[in-house]
Structure 1
Amino acid sequence: MNQYLTKREQQILDYITRQIDHTGIAPSTQNIATEFEIPSLIRVTRYLNGLEGKGWILCNSDQPGGITLIENVRNYRLSLCGDIEGDRVALKKRL
């Protein structure tokens, strides 16, 4: 999951994560299109393919809510090697 996301990809990923957290089911392509006022389902599919290609989700078009988050995206955090003192981060070299 080291691929950078576009602003829209990040927004869609956040929406998918929220929907799964609240309802237990991933949103449909139509739900995503409506939420973000995207006029074309093909464009939504391209965003989903981008997220899948970058390793953030898996898509299974054979079932409703067929989007699966990979590696617990909702728990994904950036790890820093260092100490936090006040509002400063002192980074340490890794040997």
Structure 2
Amino acid sequence: MSDLAQSLASLFQKAYEQGVEDGRKQPLIKHEMITRKQMKERFGISPDSFDDYYRNVQGFPSYQEGRSQKYYEPAVHEWLMDHQQFNN
């Protein structure tokens, strides 16, 4: 194989490996509506903690479906990421 072809093959291999590594860093969020009870399995937030600290916060993403509230999982993920608090 020529030096040019070998260099290109190496470059493509590195780009592929970087893409795989970047893909593994992406959160696995399903694009679906979830209930408050599903917050535990999806985000580790118990229903009681969800009711106490998130459910009625102004701006928390929710959708009223009949008499029940549902939550679009990607919007909840984004909201949680944007509203993190760090202890220093």
TM exceeding 0.5: no
When the two structures are superposed, what TM-score results if normalisation uses the length of structure 2?
0.32
Larger RCO (CA within 8 A; separation ≥ 6): 2
**Structure (1/2) with the larger helix percentage:** 2
